[in-house]
Chains A and B, each alone.
Chain A
């Protein structure tokens, strides 16, 4: 091992940079460790050390290295509360940003923000005081946030008489705790930050310790990981086409999380299942290139014009495949103002995908105050860590966090705020979904009158049907729905066209204007259809831009009755085969005629006259 030499204020062009987070219980000496690192590597501004020593002398208090950090923070803070401070220093090997995460529980959100940007963590424990609440919580959090490299600094060894036995005992205790949460620390270093033992120079007081100093350990942390070698994953961030600026390229844009991809390779988009081939790698002000790899914020054009949406995961079909599903088991860390409860809908953000999500169950929770596991909690309170079952209303593509971190972690948004974060442990899809359970329960409680649907159909002389007209906005769906209703009514059918505006201010009045209620609105249309078809009606409605999932949901909700899908123009379907596909509707009587023929062929109606 080489001892890093310190370069003062000299940056070389492409020197790597690493973010390190420093965590630990309050008063266990984080600030002193940082103060020491900055002072002993000559990273302080000119005269700072002297001025702090002088100020201590004037105020007759003993100088402490922690004051250096306080002085820097005061400069940064200018009289307001500092949260996560960043300190910069360099070794010959690379530049470091030390993120000082506050030990106080109130600053947990800042600690998360800091730690989730770090590649390695220094966890400080007081040799004298031993393992305390935040020694555990921070260890847990750092692991959950994906910081794989943790070094434990057993500090204040001077107060423990530099005894090896004390160090070994604490090391054994804490290793046992970390093992429970699947964390294997890189190293334990006995230090005295106050005395500068084992921080930047080898301690003469602890000859029994032969491992690296803190400074040496920092340079030993590895960077980046094996992202290039992993399966290709690109969460699609957006699709660009700047036609107005005279640019006809249709570019799939996003940042490659893992792997690499070249022109000519086949790609698969999930969850839609669409496929294409890479035509080009796009960039601005760079030489032309044919490959892009992990870490790059890039863009691709495809050789075929397929319709995909932001939020899909672009993968290589021959790589190990990601998961697709609606039910996951996950570890969640909750920092919301209000608890996470099963009654509420939340927004889940994973990669670039957004989905409505519900808490479908809690397996166990780690209590914020006494750090005990509980199997009885019904909700996640602020600062709880819980193993939970989540269910999204539509399928999403993801990886298990153990296999691919970047595509295996997510946040949960509650009322405009990021209120929690988590990692995916298992894909539970395949079991009964919340929608299926809802329908099963609804049907088991359904109260039927004395008049059966079949009785109504006999009197009506036609069968009941739910007709959904879908397609892009402004394609004439609504007008077609109304024309169809008129024609059926003239032919003495029992029919009803439901206009969306009719329910917006009635049935949907409780849904506030803000926020996304698309799932709930869809559910209400499906429930209405169930009732109206039960009443023997040919029930017609129009839905903008329905996709496979929307149609599947409406079909399920309308069960046991039947659905008929008419699509106008382009669609987002991958699995759904519409019962009738119309390229456009220029002539309404003709389109109505086509639908009527279909209804006859399906024996819904017997005959008709336009």
Chain B
């Protein structure tokens, strides 16, 4: 087994463990490369099926290709696809692009708050109807007690402290200093009422591993990651107003891998194109508050 095989086997084990232990389980799919690899790993774990609902938080400011890609894959792979949103903030224009909040507050409203309320079932969920090929209001509103998330330890500082199975209290907050131990392959799968557990099958993957795996498996990804001839591409995807492409010649996945291997991106943080990280407090503040 090579290193990618080992990473795959560990992630599959974690996904199966989550599926066995959590009766109310979902997987967050941001449409980005990491959570798309996670989705692919679920197909590996469950032999071509994805028996776990996928939840996407629609901020209404996503780059349009992302939403088109989401719905195409959802139909092709027969996914139990759900989205949620902060309808009130969008309708009242309480957003950064509307000029009414700063970036961090905008993330908090459109992502953290929308995610929290979608997971808890307090706010409406919309589920893909595969016959009608469109979303419909979902009657089911049970809270999710297990949430699978595609964070990686190498991605950003606060993520290097995560466990594979990480408990969050009812307020979604994360006690970084006092986390349960993980012995070998035994994880925290018991949880008190009112709490939930975040599950991180990709913790040991690096950005390079992700691209190598995408290439090896032939996983379809959003074309925004590739240079379409204008000399730039996205390295990390988010909302259009706060996400900028990087200068890069890579037009194929093989070229991205080469770019990462030869060190030409080594001085630039992966999320450097994400404007909210640079605001005061940044991602750590957002993450303690329930952001992914």
Residue of A nearest to B195 (CB): A416
* Chain A hits for B157, CB < 8 A: 75-78
- A24 vs B113: C-alpha distance when bound (angstroms): 43
A245 and B176 contacting across the interface, CB-CB below 8 Å: no
* Chain A hits for B46, CB < 8 A: 240, 242
Residue of A nearest to B78 (CB): A245
Among B12-20, B87-95, B231-239, the one that faces the other chain is: B12-20
Q: How far is the CB of A190 from chain B (nearest CB, A)?
A: 32
A 236-254 contacts with B by CB, 8 A: 237-238, 240, 242, 245, 247, 249, 251, 253-254
Among B45, B208, B260, chain A packs the most CB atoms within 10 A around the CB of B45
* Chain B hits for A450, CB < 8 A: none
Q: Which of A8, A13, A406, A421 contacts B183 (CB 8 A)?
A: A421
Known: A11-B261, A255-B9, A284-B43. Is A238-B16 also a contact (CB below 8 A)? yes
Among B31-39, B58-66, B136-144, B158-166, the one that faces the other chain is: B158-166
* Chain A hits for B5, CB < 8 A: 295-296
Known: A237-B20, A284-B48. Is A76-B160 also a contact (CB below 8 A)? yes
Known: A46-B267, A284-B43, A297-B8. Is A411-B2 also a contact (CB below 8 A)? no
* Chain B hits for A86, CB < 8 A: 153, 160
B182 and A85 contacting across the interface, CB-CB below 8 Å: no
Residue of A nearest to B45 (CB): A297
B263 and A9 contacting across the interface, CB-CB below 8 Å: yes
B160 and A85 contacting across the interface, CB-CB below 8 Å: yes
A 1-39 contacts with B by CB, 8 A: 8-17
B149-174 interface bits toward A, Cβ cutoff 8 Å, 1 = contact, 0 = none = 00001100110110100000000000
B184 and A116 contacting across the interface, CB-CB below 8 Å: yes
Asked if A417 is at the interface (CB within 8 A of a chain B CB), the reply is: yes
B169-194 interface bits toward A, Cβ cutoff 8 Å, 1 = contact, 0 = none = 00000001101111111111011110
Asked if A103 is at the interface (CB within 8 A of a chain B CB), the reply is: no
B190 and A416 contacting across the interface, CB-CB below 8 Å: yes
Asked if A180 is at the interface (CB within 8 A of a chain B CB), the reply is: no
Residue of A nearest to B163 (CB): A113
Among B153, B157, B188, chain A packs the most CB atoms within 10 A around the CB of B157
- A459 vs B218: C-alpha distance when bound (angstroms): 80
B1 and A296 contacting across the interface, CB-CB below 8 Å: yes
* Chain B hits for A59, CB < 8 A: none
A238 and B188 contacting across the interface, CB-CB below 8 Å: no
Q: How far is the CB of A347 from chain B (nearest CB, A)?
A: 7
B3 and A17 contacting across the interface, CB-CB below 8 Å: yes
Asked if A82 is at the interface (CB within 8 A of a chain B CB), the reply is: yes
* Chain A hits for B44, CB < 8 A: 283-285, 297
Q: How far is the CB of B236 from chain A (nearest CB, A)?
A: 18
Residue of B nearest to A85 (CB): B160
Number of residues from B at the complex interface, CB < 8 A: 59
Residue of A nearest to B188 (CB): A418
Asked if B212 is at the interface (CB within 8 A of a chain A CB), the reply is: yes
* Chain A hits for B267, CB < 8 A: 45-46
Known: A11-B261, A145-B183. Is A251-B13 also a contact (CB below 8 A)? no
B177 and A413 contacting across the interface, CB-CB below 8 Å: no
A 293-349 contacts with B by CB, 8 A: 295-297, 299, 310, 335, 347, 349
Q: How far is the CB of A250 from chain B (nearest CB, A)?
A: 11
B9 and A242 contacting across the interface, CB-CB below 8 Å: no
A85-114 interface bits toward B, Cβ cutoff 8 Å, 1 = contact, 0 = none = 110100000010000000000000110110
Q: How far is the CB of B168 from chain A (nearest CB, A)?
A: 13
Q: How far is the CB of A483 from chain B (nearest CB, A)?
A: 34
Asked if A547 is at the interface (CB within 8 A of a chain B CB), the reply is: no
A381-418 interface bits toward B, Cβ cutoff 8 Å, 1 = contact, 0 = none = 00000000000000000000000001001110101111
B 59-112 contacts with A by CB, 8 A: 78
B284 and A80 contacting across the interface, CB-CB below 8 Å: yes
Asked if A282 is at the interface (CB within 8 A of a chain B CB), the reply is: yes
Asked if A83 is at the interface (CB within 8 A of a chain B CB), the reply is: yes
* Chain A hits for B8, CB < 8 A: 297
* Chain B hits for A335, CB < 8 A: 181
Asked if A81 is at the interface (CB within 8 A of a chain B CB), the reply is: yes
- A478 vs B34: C-alpha distance when bound (angstroms): 51
Q: Which of A12, A88, A117 contacts B154 (CB 8 A)?
A: A88
A108-143 interface bits toward B, Cβ cutoff 8 Å, 1 = contact, 0 = none = 011011001100000000000000000000000000
Sample of 16 more A-B contacts, CB < 8 Å, known A76-B161, A109-B181: A16-B3, A79-B284, A80-B177, A81-B177, A95-B3, A145-B184, A238-B19, A242-B51, A249-B47, A284-B43, A284-B44, A285-B218, A295-B6, A310-B20, A418-B183, A418-B187
Task: List the 4 closest pairs (A to B, CB-CB), nearest first.
Answer: A14-B2, A297-B12, A76-B157, A421-B183
| 23 pairs, CB–CB < 8 Å, chain A vs chain B | A9-B263, A11-B261, A14-B4, A76-B160, A78-B282, A83-B177, A109-B181, A112-B183, A113-B163, A117-B182, A145-B183, A238-B20, A242-B51, A255-B185, A284-B44, A285-B218, A295-B9, A297-B12, A335-B181, A406-B184, A418-B181, A418-B186, A418-B187
